[in-house]
Amino acid sequence: MGISCRMFLLDQDDGLYRLPSTKFNQMLRDPTSCRITRFAGARVRMTDIAVELLNRQPIRVVWNTFGFLAFDDEGYFDSGTFDHHQRARAELAWAPLAAEPKGAAIIVDATTRFVAQGGRWKPTRTLQRLIDEAALGRVKCPRL
C-alpha cells in the first residue's frame, strides 16, 4: 500500500494535461525556469489528486483539491497569485484552532474568504470522472 500524488491542468475545453510533481516544484522554486506557452496569459484550472497504490498500481482516488494556476503573457507561472490563494486557504483552515476558550466567536476577515474562494473551483460529475480515470491511469493525457 502507498499513496501517490498527481497533478493535472485543464484547458478551456476540459483537455487534461499531466503536470509532473518535479516540474511543478521547479515552477514554485523558480517560475522563470519553466515556460508553458500553451497556457500563456491564462488562468488555468488545476487539480491535485492523491491515489492509493497496491503493488505500485493505482486502485482508487483518496483525496483531491481544485485550484487555479495563473501564467503570464509569456507562459511563466505566476507564483505570487498562487501563494496568495494558498495563504488565504491556510488562514481559513487554522481559524478554528485559534478560537478563544469558552466558545468565543471566531472572526475571520471576509477578504480572506473571498481570496480563498477565488482560488478554487468544482468540477461537474462528468469532468470529475474523467479526472479520476486519468489519475488512475485509465485515460491517457499529454504530459507537460
| Secondary structure E strands in the chain | 2-10, 16-18, 43-54, 57-70
pLDDT tens, position by position, 4-40: 999 999 999 999 999 999 999 999 999 999 999 999 9
Could you tell me if 121 and 44 are in contact, meaning their C-beta atoms sit under 8 angstroms apart? no
> What digits encode the pLDDT tens for the residues 64-120?
989 889 999 999 999 887 776 666 666 666 665 555 656 556 555 555 554 445 557
| Nearest Cα residue to 19 out of 8, 35, 28 | 8
Closest among 56, 60, 63 to 136, alpha carbons compared: 60
CB atoms within 10 A of CB 41: 11
Picking from 93, 86, 88, the residue whose alpha carbon sits closest to that of residue 111 is: 88
Length of the chain counted residue by residue: 144
